[in-house]
Chains A and B, each alone.
Chain A
């Protein structure tokens, strides 16, 4: 029996109109990611890796081409449909952590569950369990501004996984951390990828970060330059 891929990108194009000029961020990109893969997108700034992450994570739409997540063509979905996909199937980790400053770490982690209508106590229990798993249980009642960068990123990872998504999208997750904390975060992501069988799509320009992935896709000027298993 053929296993359904987690993610299929088919001739994706993405262009932005800026004034009188048109910028091509993605130029005919196609690839497939198997479930449970840990894929790193590598390339210099402006190569289109963040745009590709956004399109794969249902945050943005491609100008043309198809993107299929767990068998569902995202191009056919409206705003509500994309929101549902993000809420149920995708988790995000960003360079600047992007925790909501007005919520405690506990509430930040529980937020995706709460937004999808999960009972408060259940969401809290899940948040607590994941916080323990990522090592920030002692910071649950703190606000993001009161914890370190490494802790913030751990909280962001917990938030990204609390609703048990199929796809974890991470955009330069170590870009704002020192090397020690960066290495810890990457180790954590690798562990969680194996433990939870969550597919990870990670964008980075650093080779040591990409080394944690099982597959590396090299990008330049909106196109793939190379695709290798590690």
Chain B
């Protein structure tokens, strides 16, 4: 231990810059991995917390596609045998904050609205009504001192159902959470404007709920109303979203669930509320898996810094090691000394990394919550706190991998000969000859990578795709020495001619250090290749989406409600708005569409209704198969035919001609697949049926959007303004022109991928630190030669220039390898991982200009990373005796 302190810890403490850089590198790697875990957990947790918060004591819920018809409720009276049932309407609305005239989505705040029959619902959820008057016992009766700020509210003890009923007297009465009231300066009697779909309704606040039970949802953004008022508000007259069941005390939940399931008609499902959480988790799994895979890159690059630092340690102290060996220290102890150094760095890195993880997670949540909310679910969750599980995860990853990273230099240290080290001339001959073995192993691994791409998914996960990507990384990494050797042979004269003697020296130095440099170049190449691969994938994806949007967004105007749809929340348009659009003289055709959540084979998908005739006439869908899809779809009108998205087809192995058995309010029914179409708006999979068919089986549901086609020569903007002008104060639709919707689609797309670029940036920064470290190691290793160079007449500028050229060359070679590796990885991402994860066909597109810019930036950045080692090299003491 004393030797470890003196020989390892003291030098680490003395060389603060190098030690801090290494610890930071490991810390960033650990932080990124843990932060992504936290981020992933937060999006699930946000949904699950909301679910659990609102579910209260509900043990079983009865759900159906598109909800339940109220008329069916009497036929479910037998549920009383198992407990009490409470019908529920639950949805998101938007609290209107700004001026109605200039309303945009930014002026609205999402609130969760729960509509219940309070008589039945009191036992289900923990409603704690607050006192707002002076006399707490008569609080409910006197709780309407309009316009006055409430004194510190306190819970009303033993609030009765009757009292609750009295304050939810009509369809304009609501109870909100105290937290929301405080935040928005609202009091009992205040008006509250909320937007449901396209309708802006005014309500009067009749009571405040303590922040307990359901009032905690979405950080207090909770509004409670009577179920009839909610049906009116959400335009779900005659329907409920689900029937919550509170089982009799002591009942066996699983047994009762099975019993209820057995008695339910096939179109209805009984499930624990947590089931919806599991479905969301499954839905997000692919998104999360890709983020996790990306986060590992940063860690791997961070560990390469450990390799570097231990290498520098060994290189700088060969003579000391030789002395220790001469004095009797065994090889094994030398090995342990340097592994100990790696462990010390790893432990410090893990400690700092765990601290950083929380900060990164907050940033990552801010970046990904837009994606998760926009595409998947509405959440308002902060990342969970770090727990021992995360400490264990960080340690279990960081420590062994750090030891592995340090194994090569530690072994090298243990091989140092006492006599040779003492003489100071035992540095290895680093010149490399290209041997067949240098090509055989990497080419075999790369062939394996190709083979793995031919295998299908495992449980819906692109397991072999990930393995193939990993094999590409390993194979190319093993190929790096051969590539460098080849490049060294052909570049000598060019470098000497272009960059003079410094170019010649840089070439000579790098060539002689190929074994040492290969790991650095491979690590930098890996992180750069991921940048390249992701740039190609996202560029391709974006181009495909632009093309798809161009092909499918044919309508002139798109009319939608003010609130974005999310899982289980489909805001709708009211007849007033639909009529306002239909009546406009310039409107020639309307395609109305409506989506409902559909659980198919246990997975959450989407069932949509569209007007097939309008879609076919106006070419608003891009069909994948069959070749005569348009004819087949026209034939399907009125014939119980459906079209399915590519993602659905891929996920469930369905093709045209197959039959889907879907739950409908009228029981299970078979629908024949007429065609498969391209859809990049949803990776859950979509089934679309003609509006007439949908109406026949699912009832006349209000549409969630309209696409309007105008007469040729119309000015869409003018028509948009004219339609909006006909709407009264109580209706606010969002009408996008074709152009602005395309912009919106791409804006959402770009925000979705912001996190991937951020993760990549971290990996590249860590790799840059690695380049600086490697060069520093080389400078220390070559200090005798550098000294000699100075004796021979090289001035400090020439030495600096030489090292900076070396750094830039490392960057250029790494970026070159990264481009090739990235191209291969992008193929795997686009044609294997993406297809198996999301079921999307992406057309390959090379973002040439971006890659050129990135390559220049990398070379400049690595040259900058070389400045510190260059300064150290130029400052070396001049002595040939060194």
Contact = CB atoms under 8 A, between A and B. Distances in A.
A114 B791 contact: no
Nearest to B496: A120
Given A98-B788, A107-B508, A83 B500 contact: no
Interface in B390-436: 425, 429, 431
Contacts of B794: 83, 87, 115
A103 B508 contact: yes
Interface in B769-806: 785, 788-796, 798
A117 B805 CA distance: 17
Contacts of B792: 86-87, 92, 111-112, 115, 159
A76 to B, nearest CB: 18
A98 B793 contact: no
A72 B425 CA distance: 37
A102 B880 contact: no
A221 B262 CA distance: 108
Contact of A59 (B429, B508, B791): B791
Contact of A120 (B425, B431, B497, B511): B497
Given A80-B795, A115-B501, A120-B496, A102 B785 contact: yes
A46 to B, nearest CB: 13
A145 B429 CA distance: 8
A114 B504 contact: yes
Interface residues of A, number: 29
Contact of A60 (B500, B512, B789, B878): B878
B687 to A, nearest CB: 67
Nearest to A86: B793
Interface in A82-138: 83-84, 86-88, 92, 94, 96, 98, 100-103, 107, 111-112, 114-117, 120
Contacts of A102: 505, 508-509, 511-512, 785
Contact of B793 (A94, A115, A145): A115
Interface string B846-882: 0000000000000000000000000000000011100
Contacts of B497: 120
B878 to A, nearest CB: 6
A79 interface: yes
A115 B798 contact: yes
A205 B431 CA distance: 36
Nearest to A118: B501
Per DSSP, chain B at the interface is helix
A1 to B, nearest CB: 32
A120 B425 CA distance: 31
Given A103-B508, A107-B508, A143 B791 contact: no
Contacts of B788: 98, 100
Contacts, number: 72
Contacts of B791: 59, 86, 92, 98
Chain B interface residue bracket vs A:
20 to 34
A107 B496 CA distance: 11
Given A92-B791, A102-B508, A114 B501 contact: yes
B782 to A, nearest CB: 8
A84 B505 CA distance: 19
Contacts of A60: 878
Interface string B482-509: 0000000000000011001100110011
A111 B798 CA distance: 12
Interface in B179-199: none
Contacts of B795: 79-80, 83-84, 87
B798 A101 contact: no
A143 B431 contact: yes
Contacts of A114: 500-501, 504
A88 B793 contact: yes
Contacts of A88: 793
A127 to B, nearest CB: 13
Contacts of A96: 425
A114 B795 CA distance: 12
A116 B431 contact: no
Contacts of B505: 100, 102-103
A143 B793 CA distance: 21
Nearest to B493: A120
A217 to B, nearest CB: 21
Nearest to A98: B788
B516 to A, nearest CB: 12
20 contacts: A59-B878, A59-B879, A60-B878, A80-B796, A87-B793, A88-B793, A100-B505, A100-B789, A102-B505, A102-B511, A102-B512, A103-B508, A107-B508, A112-B793, A114-B500, A115-B501, A115-B794, A117-B500, A159-B792, A163-B793
Interface of B: 425, 429, 431, 496-497, 500-501, 504-505, 508-509, 511-512, 785, 788-796, 798, 878-880
Given A83-B790, A83-B794, 19 more contacts: A59-B791, A79-B795, A83-B795, A84-B793, A84-B795, A86-B791, A87-B794, A100-B508, A101-B512, A101-B785, A102-B505, A102-B508, A102-B509, A102-B785, A111-B792, A114-B500, A115-B798, A116-B793, A143-B431
Sorted nearest first, the 10 A-B pairs with minimum C-beta distance are A87-B793, A114-B501, A102-B508, A102-B512, A83-B795, A115-B793, A86-B793, A103-B508, A98-B788, A115-B794
